[in-house]
Amino acid sequence: MTVLAFDLGAGSGRAIIADIRGDRLEMEEIHRFPNDPVQAGGHFHWDILRLLHELKQGILQAKHKGYSRLGSMAIDSWAVDFGFLDRNGELLGNPYHYRDHQTDGMMERVFSIVPREEIFRRTGIQFMQINTLYHLAAMKERDATALREAETFLMIPDLLRYFLTGEKKCEFTNATTTQVFNPVAKTWDTDLLGRLGIPAHPFTPPVNPGTVIGPLSASVSRELGVSAFPVIAVGEHDTASAVVAVPAEQHDFAYLICGTWSLLGTEVQEPVLSPQALEWNFTNEGGVGGTFRLLKNIMGLWLLQECRHAWVKEGQSYSFADLVSLAEREPAFRALIDPDDPAFLNPEHMPNAIRSYCERTGQNVPDSPGGIVRCIIESLALKYRYVLERTEQLTGKAYSGLHMLGGGIQNKLLCRFTANAIGRPVWAGPVEASSIGNVLVQYMTLGELSGLEEARSLVRRSFPVQTYEPQESAIWDEAFGKFCRLLQPDSV
């Protein structure tokens, strides 16, 4: 049975055709497309109708390859972003990009109404200004028309799925990322919404991953000349899908989903809402199969991507491979940064933001692209250790190594440095983790796989994993001490 998976990232999207053949999962990318945000009217938006167009192109590509009667299809994407429909089911404006500056200063204004501690107790979500809650509060503050006229709230995969099927359904894993969802009651927190003056009626009860939403609408089927195959809600937050694809043999494992963002954590059965989790700003997001993802968002390879973007604009056309090669030639630990410093969220010029941070913290200031990239990769690896050790303290469990998945594992220097930093093996693979997890949940829904254990066994048989063993432990331990003092100068 052939299925179609759409995996939408913050920079690009892809369509994947998948089959289980024998005891292996085989996948083929049939369509790839850019996902470029658009600056308009002083705001940063997603081009949602362009994404819909690209999804249709992916379905057409499947048809041209002979797959006009698919077993199913599904969509996963990044978290927190959303759109509103009016009473006629029409889209109320282009969805805002999570990095839009409308949330600047909004967290503090929300905390003046509902205390930070109470928000965490109600939602279990890490505090970041990109969260849905602060975009909703910003829209309320300026009396945005879209919020006033809203009848239905849908997140990005939900919205695209609605355009294809006509069904208005929210999916659980993505709903939990908004910071307006109660993970214990498993419902939208209407009291929290009400205290902030945000209407609660657009928020419909979410469906679980593995729910068949409905077939392609008759109009879309006619337009594309394909059968009305079922559309399934998978783990529609791409991290939820990626965690399904962790090729772990044991029940207790730590993972790092590595891309534009880095997401490091573990799979738990219940949300961890302790004061320590609040103090350390961890998050509890819904997972597949009744699980939760206790994790922390780390800024990730956005730092490197934005540096490259700045250098290309200045006429220095480095490839990512070029930048990694330059970094390898630089001296170790000349300067370190906290990747999650607010200065790096969306600066005008990332290299200058990194130099300014180093100057502000009394360190050597990197003066070359190679030096800046070395600083980024070393700092990410050390932040991974910092978060991994805190994850162990929150769960009371020790992890023998770290599973790294996602596109970032193609940066072998980052994988090697991560193993060195954590002092344990790193198991890198698979790369297309979100797409694989998307496909696996479709097969679980269709009865081809019995659950997560069988799905992960299939991943182990189907995709290579590269092991990185730790080296230079004493040097990295010393660097970690320096890094901790940078993060906690008054307490370390």
pLDDT by residue (tens digit) across 77-104?
A: 999 999 999 999 999 999 999 999 999 9
Predicted confidence (pLDDT) at residue 64 exceeds the cutoff of 90? yes
Q: What is the tens place of the pLDDT at every residue in 2-35?
A: 999 999 998 899 999 999 999 999 999 999 999 9
Please write down the HEC assignment for all residues of 384-451: HHHHHHHHHHHHCCCCCCEEEECHHHHCHHHHHHHHHHHCCCEEECCCCHHHHHHHHHHHHHCCCCCC
> What does the block give as tokens for 73?
């299809």
In sequence order, the β-bridge partners of residue 187 are: 182
Measured distance CA(30)–CA(24) in Å, rounded? 19
Within its chain, how far is the Cα of 386 from the centroid?
A: 20
Within this chain, do residues 293 and 210 fall inside the same structural domain, yes or no?
A: no
Within this chain, do residues 267 and 313 fall inside the same structural domain, yes or no?
A: yes
**Averaged pLDDT for residues 366-381:** 98
**DSSP type of residue 43:** E
Predicted confidence (pLDDT) at residue 55 exceeds the cutoff of 70? yes
Measured distance CA(370)–CA(331) in Å, rounded? 10
- How would residue 492 be classed by pLDDT, with cut points 50, 70 and 90? very low
Q: What is the tens place of the pLDDT at every residue in 212-237?
A: 999 999 999 999 999 999 999 999 99
Predicted confidence (pLDDT) at residue 400 exceeds the cutoff of 70? yes
In a domain, 414, yes or no: yes
First and final C-alpha spacing in the chain? 56
Predicted confidence (pLDDT) at residue 489 exceeds the cutoff of 80? no
* Percent of the chain whose pLDDT exceeds 70: 99
Within this chain, do residues 299 and 194 fall inside the same structural domain, yes or no?
A: no
Predicted confidence (pLDDT) at residue 112 exceeds the cutoff of 50? yes
**Averaged pLDDT for residues 298-310:** 96
**Averaged pLDDT for residues 310-331:** 97
In a domain, 229, yes or no: yes
Cβ atoms of 141 and 109 closer than 8 Å: yes
In a domain, 255, yes or no: yes
**Residue 238 is among the residues annotated as catalytic for this protein:** yes
Predicted confidence (pLDDT) at residue 115 exceeds the cutoff of 80? yes
Q: Report the b/e string of 236-266 with b at 16+ CB within 10 A.
A: bbbbbbbbbbbbbeeeebbbbbbbbbbbbbb
What residue type is assigned to position 168 of the chain?
A: K
Within this chain, do residues 207 and 327 fall inside the same structural domain, yes or no?
A: no
In a domain, 198, yes or no: yes
End-of-domain residue from the set 218, 238, 258: 238
Cβ atoms of 80 and 98 closer than 8 Å: yes
Q: Residue 376's CB: how many other CB atoms inside 10 A?
A: 27
Within this chain, do residues 138 and 192 fall inside the same structural domain, yes or no?
A: yes
**Averaged pLDDT for residues 373-398:** 98
The pTM of the full predicted model, rounded to 2 decimals, is 0.94
> Dihedral of CA 490/333/353/412: which sign?
negative
Which residues touch 364 (CB under 8 Å, ≥6 apart)?
A: 334, 335, 358
Cβ atoms of 334 and 364 closer than 8 Å: yes
Measured distance CA(126)–CA(281) in Å, rounded? 5
Q: What share of the chain is helix, strand, coil (3-state, %, to 5)?
A: 45, 20, 35
Map tokens 């009396």 to a residue.
143
Within this chain, do residues 357 and 216 fall inside the same structural domain, yes or no?
A: no
> What does the block give as tokens for 148?
């006033």
Domain that holds residue 142: 3-238
User: How many structural domains is the chain composed of?
Assistant: 2
**Averaged pLDDT for residues 111-121:** 98
CATH number for position 282: 3.30.420.40
Within this chain, do residues 339 and 481 fall inside the same structural domain, yes or no?
A: yes
- pLDDT, residue 170, reads 98
In a domain, 437, yes or no: no
Q: What is the tens place of the pLDDT at every residue in 347-370?
A: 999 999 999 999 999 999 999 999
Q: What is the mean pLDDT of the chain?
A: 97
Which residues touch 407 (CB under 8 Å, ≥6 apart)?
A: 258, 259, 431, 432
> What does the block give as tokens for 440?
């696996």
Within this chain, do residues 197 and 313 fall inside the same structural domain, yes or no?
A: no
**64 sits in which H/E element:** helix 48-64
Within this chain, do residues 226 and 369 fall inside the same structural domain, yes or no?
A: no
In a domain, 38, yes or no: yes
- How would residue 315 be classed by pLDDT, with cut points 50, 70 and 90? very high
- pLDDT, residue 141, reads 98
Query: What strands lie across the sheet with 262-268, from one edge to the other?
Result: 283-286, 292-298, 262-268, 254-258, 402-405, 426-428, 466-468
Within its chain, how far is the Cα of 472 from the centroid?
A: 31
- pLDDT, residue 488, reads 82
* Percent of the chain whose pLDDT exceeds 90: 97
Within this chain, do residues 168 and 50 fall inside the same structural domain, yes or no?
A: yes
Within this chain, do residues 220 and 312 fall inside the same structural domain, yes or no?
A: no
Select which of 7, 81, 238, 338 is catalytic: 238
Q: What is the tens place of the pLDDT at every residue in 150-200?
A: 999 999 999 999 999 999 999 999 999 999 999 999 999 999 999 999 999
Measured distance CA(62)–CA(170) in Å, rounded? 26
Measured distance CA(23)–CA(17) in Å, rounded? 17
Reduced to 3 states, what is the DSSP secondary structure of residue 464? coil
In a domain, 443, yes or no: no
Within this chain, do residues 352 and 286 fall inside the same structural domain, yes or no?
A: yes
- pLDDT, residue 491, reads 38
End-of-domain residue from the set 180, 206, 238: 238
In sequence order, the β-bridge partners of residue 293 are: 267, 285
Q: What is the tens place of the pLDDT at every residue in 279-301?
A: 999 999 999 999 999 999 999 99
